[in-house]
Structure 1
Amino acid sequence: MALRLLFLHPNFPGQFGQLAAALAARPDFEVLAIGHRGADGRMVPGVKVHYYDAFPWVEHSAFAGTEQFTQQVRRGRAARQVLQDIKHDGFRPDIVIAHPGWGDAMFLHDIFPDARLISFMEFYYKRTGTDLDFDPEFPSDPSEVEFLRLRNLPSVMAYEVSAAAVSPTHWQANLFPPAIRSGISVVHEGIDTSGIRPDPAARLPLPSGRVLGRGDEVLTYVSRGLEPLRCFHSFMRALPEIQQRRPNAFTVIVGSDKAHYGKRPPVAASWREALLAELKGSLDLSRIWFAGRLPYADYLDVLRVSSVHAYLTYPFVLSWSLLEAMSAGCAIVGSRTAPVEEAILDEVTGVLADPLQPSDIAARIIALLSDQPRRRELGRAARQHAEIHYDFQLIGLPGYLDLFDRVMKRCGPGIVEPLHVVGGESSTPGPSIAAENHRERRTENLEADVGRTLE
């Protein structure tokens, strides 16, 4: 009998595109999903998605900080209606994988009390040590921290009834209180390192008609939104010196003008406009392409033609774009922040810079742009690291299959309990045993491949 699996994510597939597709293609799984209609999701082959409708934002609460929690509850109620609908249609999930931070899973066990919930614990909001207090240029407003615990409440509520919990990185897992951290498995969902690989023949056409290739000097920056949380302000302020010192360098900036996190600019319509106004007269705009959002294939070509790739961020959720840049063999200048340091070893798989110091960012980018052998060495090491530690087939799929096996064996019908201390007694357990064993079997072959030519 097929294992019935339900994904619950407002932006389905979110982090789970590869996982959902791989499981839906197997005869031993039946896969459904629930998402928010109109969200920025996409279809996954073999997965039927049931949508809950949009609902208006509730404003003018007596306490402004409660508005976010009110939205999470309303989202949970909307998802509950869809859960009732699929139950009426005869679907009873054995396992539910949910991102509880949005609120969608808040009433899951009212409808399916026997379902084994695997909670994706992506981020625990804290007053110190994360994005909120990181950048003195943008101090947090008292109203932002007054009701901070409410932002975490849906995740805490979900953990109470979870059969397992998972975080993609150790840093993200360690944000959670010890009582919750002890039950979190660290398993990255993985990227497609076979499909995201170096290509010496890659070409990137520009709107001007120029075509960039591996022989050009190309600086790249990628973010979902061009905003301070991903240190867009620092990167832009580093560009004048980079352009002055590297007169042949061309910069490609990928990302939308929408600020997805943090503050909006006080005057300009976007941070891009605000920074361009601030730097007016000091930038050669003919050597910069603001590409906006690109089709995925074009985005990969940006990485493949990159000479140096900048990945800068506050202490926040680690972006897939960093791991994809590593898989593409980019020479990376990353931010010296905890989530990045988990993926990038300074001077080995990339170079780290102070993300709030444009002069430091500029110096490290300039040094790499002028040193092709060093770029080649870093790109090879980054590619190898991504293959061994972040490959979907090697880490993501085995890790989640191991979670499924454990929750189905541990929890009988109606018995839902946390999996405390998974992966050993260490306070920072690594990926699952199955993933580790699979990694060991392939590491020798991958290390033999380190000499692959990137340029």
Structure 2
Amino acid sequence: MKFLFVHQNFPGQFLHIVRHLARAGRHEVVFISESNENAIAGVRRVIYRTPTLPPEATHAGAREFALALSRADAVAQAALTLKNLGFAPDIIIGHHGWGELLNLQDIFPSSPILGYFEFFYHSNGFDVGFDPEFPTLPEMLPRIRAKNAINLQALNNPGWGQTPTLFQRSTYPSWALDRISVLREGVNLELCAPDKTANRRSLTVNGVTISPKERLITYVARDLEPYRGFHVFMRSLPRILKECPQARVVMVGGDGVSYGARLAHMTWRQHMLNELEGQLDLERIHFVGKVSYDNFRALLKRSDAHVYLTYPFVASWSLREAMAMGCAIVGSNTDPVREFVEDGHTGLLVPFTEPAKIADAVLTLLENRKQAQLLREAARAEAERTLCLDDYLARYEDLIEQVSGVAPSHIPAPKTKAVRKKTSDAPARTASRSKAVTKQTASKPAKPRSRVLQSV
């Protein structure tokens, strides 16, 4: 099959499926994106130039949509170049969030589109107005509604949608739900596996060393900001550190803002350190910034209590990975987390806005190791049941077949040609055997799978 993927930050949410298709050796995989240093063997990159921002005179509510239309133009131009070179995709898979897919129906009218729908914005009932500490100003409401301009254009265009959770699907209008399938994202359960010996040795990450005698509390977010509960977690720390002298806290995340509002003159980290000045033992709190994936996994495998908090918004990949690594999780009692974590069985759920309850749950896990171990085992078992990467890829192929009419696994692998050398017949026999194996593999019927994907 010929695949065309689109995401401004290659490979984005498509890492696993793109790598899977490329490794199969039977597909042509092309990816349109902005420039970055990422690379996947067997994937042909097509780069488009980052559009310039709309002029300041553009209405604030229209700036995001104007930029999306510019991205749509740039991606369409890249796609037209591919078309002129003879490339016609059997399916187009991309993310609707930045408007990149909006014009591809004009370039490839016969190619079905499978678009990733991440979140439909609301002026109440979800993330907006959730945290009483940050009330929504009336003048912000029109801008929030305007953020759905890209969503609405995408829903009005031809194609099918996918989204990774029931919660995310529930944010979309009722009239759109019949066109959006839930495709739960998977985790590499071998890379993200528990390590029962991790707490028996010292761990050093970005200059911070945790000894076997210490109790490690972990917190991970792309950026340290209120959407991921950074402010309330910080307020829980004075009591946690006071009541557990062996506790150390490692926080992974940058000082930017991914989802919420920026402060005018400082980061949220500095803001919270100022608020809690004199209440924290800063020698036991470590902000390690962004870390490598190996260090991220090492921290979670060593963690004695992992805290994951979020507004009613998109759940982080790190929550899935924490479950797979058998973390003892303290999560916010919000819809995105409840879809993954069952209170008292695979983790402890706490009110997002109550630092005292967060501290209670963390201290429970640090003090009651038997309970923590039961939660760890249950979290890993749930990950094995619902987050297996191979199952996810199989369901992804089923959805691709449903949308395109072609099953990727039924495409035969390219045949290898045997090359005989006149100087010796030994290499010839080797080549002949390789050719036979290739033919057997290509002709072997694909194992049938039941269609488990549907709009739910």
Which TM-score applies when normalising by structure 1? 0.86
Which of 230, 240, 243 lines up with 1:242 in the alignment? 240
1:179 is the counterpart of 2:175? yes
1:292 is matched with which residue? 289
Q: Which has the higher contact order (CA 8 A, sep 6+)?
A: 1
Which of 375, 384, 391 lines up with 1:378 in the alignment? 375
After TM superposition, the structure 1 = structure 2 runs for residues 197-212 of structure 1, keeping only pairs within 5 Å, are 197-202=193-198, 203-206=202-205, 210-212=209-211
Counterpart Cα distance in 1 of 2:102 and 2:211: 48
1:420 is matched with which residue? none
Which of 41, 65, 86 lines up with 1:45 in the alignment? 41
Which of 71, 74, 81 lines up with 2:77 in the alignment? 81
Distance 1:109 1:302, change over 3 A: same
Q: In 2, are the aligned partners of 1:100 and 1:120 still within 8 Å (CA)? A: yes
Distance 1:206 1:122, change over 3 A: closer
Deviation, structure 1 residue 46:
1.6
1:154 is matched with which residue? 150
Deviation, structure 1 residue 148:
2.9
Q: Deviations over 1:145-194 (max 9, x none)?
A: 21333322222322333432111000100110111112211111211112
2:252 is matched with which residue? 254
Distance 1:209 1:319, change over 3 A: closer
1:442 is matched with which residue? none
Paired AA for residue 15 in structure 2: G
Deviation, structure 1 residue 142:
3.0
Deviation, structure 1 residue 106:
1.1
After TM superposition, the structure 1 = structure 2 runs for residues 78-117 of structure 1, keeping only pairs within 5 Å, are 78-117=74-113
Counterpart Cα distance in 1 of 2:313 and 2:211: 32
1:70 is matched with which residue? 66
2:405 is matched with which residue? 409
Deviation, structure 1 residue 356:
1.0
1:55 is matched with which residue? 51
Counterpart Cα distance in 2 of 1:120 and 1:209: 38
1:224 is the counterpart of 2:209? no
Residue correspondences, number: 409
Task: Look up the SS of the partner of 1:253 in the other structure.
Answer: strand
Q: Deviations over 1:113-170 (max 9, x none)?
A: 1111001111001111211111111122334321333322222322333432111000
Identity %: 38
Q: After the TM superposition, which of the residue ranges 180-189 and 341-350 deviates more from structure 2? A: 180-189
Q: Deviations over 1:52-105 (max 9, x none)?
A: 112322242352111111111111111111111211222111111111121101
Q: In 2, are the aligned partners of 1:218 and 1:305 still within 8 Å (CA)? A: yes
Distance 1:208 1:158, change over 3 A: closer
Counterpart Cα distance in 1 of 2:324 and 2:8: 28
Unaligned runs of 5+ in 2: 407-448
Counterpart Cα distance in 2 of 1:278 and 1:149: 33
Which of 112, 137, 142 lines up with 1:141 in the alignment? 137
Q: In 1, are the aligned partners of 2:331 and 2:350 still within 8 Å (CA)? A: yes
Counterpart Cα distance in 1 of 2:376 and 2:324: 9
2:440 is matched with which residue? none
1:132 is the counterpart of 2:118? no
Deviation, structure 1 residue 209:
6.2
Paired AA for residue 33 in structure 1: F
Larger Rg: 2
Q: Deviations over 1:313-369 (max 9, x none)?
A: 000001110010000000000000001000001101100011111111111111111
Counterpart Cα distance in 1 of 2:340 and 2:286: 28
Counterpart Cα distance in 1 of 2:78 and 2:58: 30
Paired AA for residue 124 in structure 2: T
Q: In 2, are the aligned partners of 1:116 and 1:163 still within 8 Å (CA)? A: yes
Q: Deviations over 1:365-413 (max 9, x none)?
A: 111111101111000100111111112112x211111111112239xxx
Deviation, structure 1 residue 433:
4.9
Q: In 1, are the aligned partners of 2:210 and 2:216 still within 8 Å (CA)? A: no
Which of 32, 35, 40 lines up with 1:34 in the alignment? 32
Counterpart Cα distance in 2 of 1:209 and 1:243: 17
Q: Deviations over 1:4-32 (max 9, x none)?
A: 11111111211111110001111332111
1:424 is matched with which residue? none
Counterpart Cα distance in 1 of 2:27 and 2:451: 19
Task: Look up the SS of the partner of 1:329 in the other structure.
Answer: coil
Which of 342, 346, 359 lines up with 1:345 in the alignment? 342
Paired AA for residue 188 in structure 1: R
Which of 378, 384, 388 lines up with 1:387 in the alignment? 384
Distance 1:37 1:357, change over 3 A: same
Which of 22, 25, 35 lines up with 1:24 in the alignment? 22
Paired AA for residue 399 in structure 1: R
1:451 is matched with which residue? none
Distance 1:266 1:359, change over 3 A: farther
1:282 is the counterpart of 2:250? no
Deviation, structure 1 residue 210:
3.0
Q: In 2, are the aligned partners of 1:398 and 1:434 still within 8 Å (CA)? A: no
Q: In 2, are the aligned partners of 1:64 and 1:143 still within 8 Å (CA)? A: no
1:449 is matched with which residue? none
Counterpart Cα distance in 2 of 1:370 and 1:355: 22
1:195 is matched with which residue? 191
Q: In 2, are the aligned partners of 1:117 and 1:164 still within 8 Å (CA)? A: yes
Moved over 6 A (4+): none
- Give the RMSD, CA atoms, in angstroms: 1.9
1:7 is matched with which residue? 5
Paired AA for residue 250 in structure 1: R
Counterpart Cα distance in 2 of 1:187 and 1:433: 15
1:301 is the counterpart of 2:298? yes
Counterpart Cα distance in 2 of 1:401 and 1:244: 51
Counterpart Cα distance in 2 of 1:21 and 1:51: 19
Q: Deviations over 1:283-324 (max 9, x none)?
A: 111111111000100010010000000000000001110010
